């Protein structure tokens, strides 16, 4: 761990750059060359991005979402593929702990997740790497603050364990999934590819109906009217290509869809209609 003595020089305000409360973009070239102040950025959302051009000295990023009633227990960071020029630390109990290192290229390809010791306020510290020239470097990443995550570790897999249901969901989980998931799609599996190195599988889905999606993960072919999209899950779930009409549900992280419950559509139809007759369905679902 690195001591936080540098933070005695922390400046105030948003620092140079543009901020929209969720994201920030700025350049180290605009800073006063002789200043020893650590610039500070405050971001107020549960997800967003940061882009630091020509990193210089240090940057302190405070994540403090406005939803004060929600406990965000896990923070996840996804570095850009061209991340260069800095390392990222998280502040904990007066010390800095390394999260993303420019020197570890393998880790730059992965999402890093860690527990938030203070759920309402998480501070990151970006330390610029020594440079011999003024060539362009950009330290950029996306972030997400997650709630109710019981497991958080140094990689995205542990966060995804909560989302990837390798076992069949029970009836209540199925009913809740259609209420709370970022996407709900009826369709079938076109293809499945596996990535053993990253312990992940990619499921290519064709859909006849998109009931809900947070972003445009699933796109419609204008000629055929068919919806297509890709869903990720863990390799250990052993997803295989096969015939069948499914209802795919799950959540999005960093612009990617992650599989949650995926019952056969006829099974879900029966479960939902039984629950509706009994008045136990947690939300209404429109089949048409």
% of the chain at pLDDT higher than 70? 77
Higher pLDDT, 161 or 167: 167
Higher pLDDT, 81 or 23: 23
Tokens of 156: 């995205």
Higher pLDDT, 163 or 281: 281
User: Looking at the whole model, is its pTM more than 0.85?
Assistant: no
Residue 164, pLDDT > 80, answer no
Supply the DSSP symbol for 7. G
Burial 28-60 (b: 16+ CB within 10 A, else e): beebeeeeeebbbbbbebbbbbbbbbbbbbbbb
pLDDT of residue 268: 94
Q: Using 50, 70 and 90 to split pLDDT, how confident is the model at 72? A: low
Query: How many other C-beta atoms are found inside a 10 Å radius of the C-beta of residue 86?
Result: 26
Task: State phi, psi for 197 to the nearest 5 degrees.
Answer: -60, -40
């Amino acid at each position: 761990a690195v001591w936080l003595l540098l933070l005695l020089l922390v400046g105030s305000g948003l620092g140079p750059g543009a901020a929209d409360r969720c994201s920030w973009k700025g350049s180290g070239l605009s800073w006063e060359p002789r200043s020893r102040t650590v610039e500070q950025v405050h971001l107020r959302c549960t997800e967003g991005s940061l882009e630091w051009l020509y990193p210089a000295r240090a940057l302190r990023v405070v994540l403090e979402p406005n939803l004060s009633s929600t406990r965000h227990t896990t923070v996840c960071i996804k570095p850009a593929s061209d991340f260069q020029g800095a390392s990222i630390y998280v502040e904990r109990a007066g010390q800095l702990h390394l999260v993303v290192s420019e020197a570890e290229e393998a880790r730059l390809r992965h999402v890093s997740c860690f527990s938030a010791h203070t759920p309402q306020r998480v501070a990151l510290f970006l330390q610029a790497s020594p440079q011999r020239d003024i060539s362009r470097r950009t330290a950029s990443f996306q972030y997400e603050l997650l709630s109710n995550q019981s497991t958080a570790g140094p990689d995205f897999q542990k966060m995804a364990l909560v989302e990837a249901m390798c076992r069949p969901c029970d009836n209540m989980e199925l009913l809740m999934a259609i209420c709370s998931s970022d996407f709900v799609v009826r369709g079938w599996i076109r293809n499945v590819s596996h990535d053993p190195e990253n312990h992940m599988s990619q499921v290519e889905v064709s859909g006849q109906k998109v009931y809900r999606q947070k972003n445009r993960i699933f796109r419609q072919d204008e000629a055929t009217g068919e919806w297509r999209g890709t869903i990720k899950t863990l390799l250990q779930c052993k997803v295989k290509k096969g015939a069948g009409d499914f209802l795919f549900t799950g959540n999005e992280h960093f612009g990617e869809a992650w599989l949650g419950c995926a019952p056969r559509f006829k099974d879900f139809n029966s479960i939902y209609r039984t629950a509706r007759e009994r008045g136990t369905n947690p939300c209404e679902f429109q089949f048409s």
